[in-house]
Amino acid sequence: MRVFVTGGAGFIGSHVAEALLDRGDAVVAMDDFNDYYPVAFKRENAALLARRPTFRLVEGDISCRDTVRNALAAAKPDAVIHLAARAGVRASVRDPFLYQRVNVEGTLNLLDAMREFGIRKLAFGSTSSIYGFNAKVPFSEDDPVSSIVSPYAATKLAGEALCRAYHHLYGFDVAALRFFSVYGPRGRPDMAIYQFTDRISRGQAIPFFGDGSSERDYTHVDDIVTGVVAATTRRFGFEVINLGESQVTRLSDLVALLERALGKKAVLDRQPEQPGDVPRTFADISKARRLLGYDPRTSVEKGIPQFVEWFLRERAPSLAKA
């Protein structure tokens, strides 16, 4: 299979590309190498993938219609995995227009190029942020999503709506995959687990929002990848599917796990709740189990020490030299 992966040099994208290559697929990855976090990290990811003979990298921005069209025309993929996006709830509050351009217009650019070239198979990377202040737990794909509280979540819901429209109009086969708080090796440095690990290891204070009672369904990237890759081999019509661990961890408990793994106490910089943050995320993954054979294996109790080990080996030495 030939697979086109947008955001292929990023955190989740590079892991997905790696898994596809291991499966024997040919992969064309597109990434714009923006500076939302250090570009060097994405370059490292791309260099790892470039060692594989069936991998090709295209540098380009999905918000440029001609760039997307030309890349798809050259790649001639059997399937597309769309992971390129501006991520981060708080950053979207600061610059919602950037998020609209990349996440909404970029998705439309991709969908319409797929339409033009007869490519109908798509896995779309969405987010649990869409559930907003959902009072019912765990979160089900059938729950109403009327309480969105960030521009990031709004742009991702718009992306899902566009995917649904192209399914209806042109017969696209789409799995819209709502990711829940993904972490793991090669993780983004703006994410809580990475940021806390970095700061605790240095003896610096960590930003601790609220009273520590907020809860997240932290999901290891290896589990997310199994769901994304499975979505390329099954037919759906159009389906929204949660990919999470289906267990919740309080912020205070997450800090305790990191303290144990690092052998250091955290210094807390207590701050109020942030605009756009939600009190909890918790995935109902029964649909993913049924449609994808999804079976998450890495609990936070296992995944946090693994992440810390990777961080201390791969990131801490370079940060010490900076």
Helix, strand, coil % over all residues of the chain, rounded to 5: 45, 20, 35
Do the beta carbons of residue 60 and residue 71 sit within 8 Å?
A: yes
Nearest partner of 157 among 180, 134, 136, 126, judged by Cα: 126
Question: SS3 sequence, 5-53?
Answer: EECCCCHHHHHHHHHHHHHCCEEEEEECCCCCCCHHHHHHHHHHHHCCC
Give the number of other CB atoms < 10 A from CB of residue 303: 24
Packing angle, helices 251-262 and 300-310, rounded to 10: 50
Cα Rg, the chain, nearest whole Å: 19
- Rounded to whole angstroms, how far apart are CA atoms 17 and 72? 16
| Length of the chain in terms of residues written | 322
Determine the residue type at 118: G
- Rounded to whole angstroms, how far apart are CA atoms 128 and 283? 8
Show Cβ contacts of residue 178 under 8 Å, excluding neighbours closer than 6 positions.
126, 127, 128, 130, 131, 141, 240, 241, 242, 243, 283
> b or e along 92-113 (b: 16 or more beta carbons within 10 Å of the residue's beta carbon)?
bbeebebbbbbbbbbbbbbbbb
Do the beta carbons of residue 21 and residue 27 sit within 8 Å?
A: yes
- By annotation, the residues acting in catalysis are 152
